[in-house]
Chains A and B, each alone.
Chain A
Amino acid sequence: MPVITINNQRIEVSEGKTVLEAAHEAGITIPTLCYHKDLSPYGGCRLCLVDIEGVRLPTTSCTYPVTDGMVVQTETPRIVEARRTILELLLSTYYDRGDNANDGHKNELTDWANFYGVDLAKYSAKEPRYEFDSDPNPFVHVDMNKCILCGRCVRACAEVQGRFVWGLSERGYDSKVVAGLDQPMLEARCESCGACVAYCPTGALDNKMSIGMGKADKVVSTTCTYCGVGCTVELNVKDNHIIRVTSSPEGMVNGMRLCVKGRYGYDFVHHPDRLTKPLVRDYLLNGTKRAGGADRGKWVEVDWETALSITTKKIVELRDSFGADSIGVLSSAKCTNEENYLMQKFARQVVGTNNIDHCARLCHSSTVAGLATSFGSGAMTNSMDDITAKAESIFVIGSNTTEQHPVFGTMIRQAVLKRDVKLIVADPRKIDLTEFATLHLWIKPGTDIALINGLMYIIFEKGYEDLEFIANRTENFEEFKANVMQYTPEITAEITGVPVEQLYEAADILGTSKPCAIFWAMGITQHIVGVQNVRTCANLQMILGNVGVPGGGVNPLRGQNNVQGACDMGALPNVYPAYQAVVNDELRQKFEKAWGTPLSPTLGATVTEMIPSIAQGKIKAMYVLGENPIMSDPDTNHVRHCLEQLDFMVLQEIFPSETADYADVLLPGVTFAEKDGTFTNTERRVQLVRKAVDPIGEARDDWQITSEIAERVLAAGQRKANPEAPYAGWKYESPAQIMAEVAALAPSYSGVTYERLENGERLQWPVKGLDHPGTPILHLGQFTRGKGVFAVTQHIPPIELPDKEYPVLLSTGRVLYHWHGGEMTRRAKGLMAVYGQSLIEVNPEDAQKLGINGNRKVRVTSRRGSIEAEAWVTDRVPSGMVYANFHFPESPTNELTIAALDPIAKIPEFKVCAVKVELVKE
């Protein structure tokens, strides 16, 4: 290792470091502006000049690599003089009208100017050169008068986000930073992630929503509420209000990265629609009968006591008259692990039913079922940082990663840009990620099994399979292979629409660029063959020997912030926490002993079964936590028809959602910003959620509300818990205490404690004990179930394909700027400013046939319903297919979708149904 001397201090440095890095490591500060450790060195601002013995002129330390014996001085008189001159020159084009750097970090330019005694008033520009707030982007405030051309925004956009929006234009004195072809940012394809703001040293780029908000009272580090990536966010709070969200280099998963929702989608927390008091329908107070059908009467604000006692009375009454299985409980993947644990404990211990489920049913139930069968456990096997650092190829099938897991999407882009990772994207749409792909397999929707079987055919044909892995770690190979060999390239091309040459090209990448990590999301799971799709992905990775290796694995990207945790906690009708089966006598007895009540030995109903069974009189009452089936479940008209007939629904929510129309009692819960707890992200990493603001109005922590209801129902009803049992009670002091109960009962969480998480430990389950470090990669050496089992899977077409009457294929999903049913994001001003209404993606050829010129309203009709929305004419979708999102109640896409279910996972086929599209005459 080279030894160098800086300011007469001898320092040992690792090879390849720059002088600046060496100095920083030794605790010697060298001033910088254009430098940031996340970005490539630029040497533009010249502030980091140092004197190096033997080098005639002062040299930029950020670009100069160390060599053995080098002697460096960082603060000689001529260096200090040079820095003063540089700062004076930078200030000569710097004009600050006083907006301040609102991102919460310091203004690095003025700080250094003050440090070197440069008079700001004297040297700053006297006149602005550019328009203030010159870009209409609702999130980013642009004031080029404060720009010092350090290029950190340009590099952040390229090297962190991978979007290349910013560039440096013109030359000399006229140089300035511009977006795209000198366009408004959004037209230059900006994704509004705010990375440029986070890296700007002067506040030339700033958070528009926070201008004038001043300094925060406190900054609370917590976990984002949107997707399953689980980014660390810093909530900057002033007067009990979130005034901005920032990222920090300490972010566990994300570092400085965030997406537009995470950084700018926070204002829903303080939206006036928030529920602040318990509400009950007037009939419950008058003692009158409820009016029929959808009309449940007026809402009346009541105190908590009234709302909770009415809820208790109704649940006890209906349970005791119709049996425990007449009650359905829906938990929430938006809520914490602790809250999910309590919801399933409530269903099982207090009510006595296994009718507990949540929206994982609608997203990854097929993954959980499929992988549990193939491998013995159903979660993402590898970690995001492991894959982006070590994969040689990445195969994304049915995941619109850059829009749905945006921060992980940026990591994939960077893996392609920086490490030249081969990326294969299989998707029926030309999603943004295809721009970075080596190969885009533009498949017909619902042909995933045929595609992967066809690729495996070629892999066998070319001898790419890992014989040793197959022999030692798998079973059922022969039968599986015989099936695969029916999928010749020609047959596969015929079914999938992917040309034979591309199939060979893809198989070559998979066979020669190893390890390969496969990723999927709803494009694989939301089909009637969802489980078979997942098992086919598992088959592929087994024949290639890509499981249990760094940089490989089978990686379902979980959608909601805590959908992994909600599943882990047993908010599912078939398992207790940590996937312990309810039908297993031994495991059931374990929980009976722990909770002190007999437990139901029969499987509960899934959400997709529960709601339809209301119409058959099986389910009488529901306790729903933060779910919105009116927006999220298939065939909305039928969902409405069923919920109308429910005798009683208690809904615990933050907003009066579309489902609230069907509730009898509405209890105000709190958002992620108002609570403590844990979320488990897509890579099984348990992370802390920390309270930043006090609950709004009379809203209460969801775990407290559930505990209150549980205590009351146990006290009032005939079903009692044995008080001697260790976990019979519901008197919890804190979420940490609930986690201790989880750890005692769920083996994979047994080593998870708040203390360890507070210490910054990286805990990915299974965490088998207090001294166990967690498991970043699953199935190392052995599968959870012993050997991995190959599945024989056959292509089965989607249940409803286009025909004469409904000639167009509809696929559904989400967009970057919105989240799920949209309850939160539709109440975030900036997100609505960018994407304020539903848009239906229509291919230009089809648009021409329909007579759409530019954006025009279309009506989309299926056998189940009809919606109207604006068309977005784009070649993202092929001819004959349209794509719609389900974020907007004005265009409720799920009125169109079909409630056809996978026979095992009961997941609906959201991804394919048949529609007709007409132009709406205006």
Chain B
Amino acid sequence: MAGNDKDGKTISNTVQAAVDRFGASQDELIPIMNEVNRELGFLPSEALDEISHQLRVPRSRLFSVASFYAMLSTKPRGKHVIQFCESAPCHVAGGREVWQAVMDHLNIKENETTSDGNWTLLTTSCLGICSVGPVMVVDDDIYGNVDPAQVPAILDKYR
């Protein structure tokens, strides 16, 4: 059944567009899921049902993939997603304080979404730019050398 996402596009249309773009092949499973996740913000069960139907892949396999990769989510995420590096170099460079500041500012913990649906807070492994740690990623934007005091200003850009 066709549900609607926030822009009024149906979920099945979104899946169809991704399948058309990459081809209805099991080899293209991850690009398709990634694209749908990007469009809808997460992978709702209706989307997985539709992908399952189109690619003839069992739903259990789709769920395995969707729950394995951090870039994919089976639960709704906020409008903006913060990924905070939890690896050692960022940690020793003051990451713990920044992390606390983000949590305090948004009033949520790891893997939670704010009640207004604007923010989801995740951790990520090393992003490979340890030289500018602590590092956080907001949507597709990378912020290095973050200081706890900068947090409100960074997040305000996305209001």
Contact = CB atoms under 8 A, between A and B. Distances in A.
Interface in A188-231: 188-189
B61 A169 contact: no
Contact of B60 (A170, A171, A179): A179
Contacts of B63: 167, 169, 178, 180-182
Interface in A147-195: 154, 157-158, 164-171, 178-182, 188-189
A157 B63 CA distance: 16
A168 B64 contact: yes
A178 B68 contact: no
A420 to B, nearest CB: 14
B131 to A, nearest CB: 27
Interface residues of A, number: 18
A168 B61 CA distance: 8
Contacts of B58: 158, 164, 167
Contacts of A166: 60
B145 interface: no
B74 interface: yes
Interface string B49-65: 00000000011111110
Contacts, number: 42
Contacts of B121: none
B87 to A, nearest CB: 15
Given A170-B68, A171-B68, A181 B74 contact: yes
Given A181-B48, A181-B74, A167 B68 contact: no
A178 B61 CA distance: 10
B59 A169 contact: no
Interface string A34-73: 0000000000000000000000000000000000000000
A195 B64 CA distance: 20
A170 B59 CA distance: 15
B25 interface: no
Contacts of B60: 154, 157, 164-167, 178-181, 188
Contacts of B48: 181
Contacts of A189: 59
B64 A180 contact: no
A433 to B, nearest CB: 14
B11 to A, nearest CB: 14
A182 B60 CA distance: 8
A42 to B, nearest CB: 14
A295 B110 CA distance: 73
A189 B52 CA distance: 13
Contacts of A158: 58
B138 to A, nearest CB: 24
Contacts of A157: 60
A909 B62 CA distance: 44
Contact of B61 (A167, A171, A179, A182): A167
Interface in B65-120: 67-68, 74
Contacts of B61: 164, 167
Q: Which of A154, A164, A165, A167 has the most CB of B within 10 A?
A: A167
A178 B67 CA distance: 11
Contacts of A168: 64
Which of B59, B60, B63 has the most chain A CB within a 10 Å cutoff?
A: B60
A210 B122 CA distance: 43
Contacts of B68: 169-171
Nearest to B58: A164
B17 to A, nearest CB: 22
A169 B64 contact: yes
Contacts of B74: 181-182
7 contacts: A154-B60, A157-B60, A165-B60, A169-B64, A180-B60, A181-B45, A188-B60
Given A164-B59, A170-B68, 5 more contacts: A166-B60, A167-B61, A169-B64, A182-B74, A188-B60
Interface of A: 154, 157-158, 164-171, 178-182, 188-189
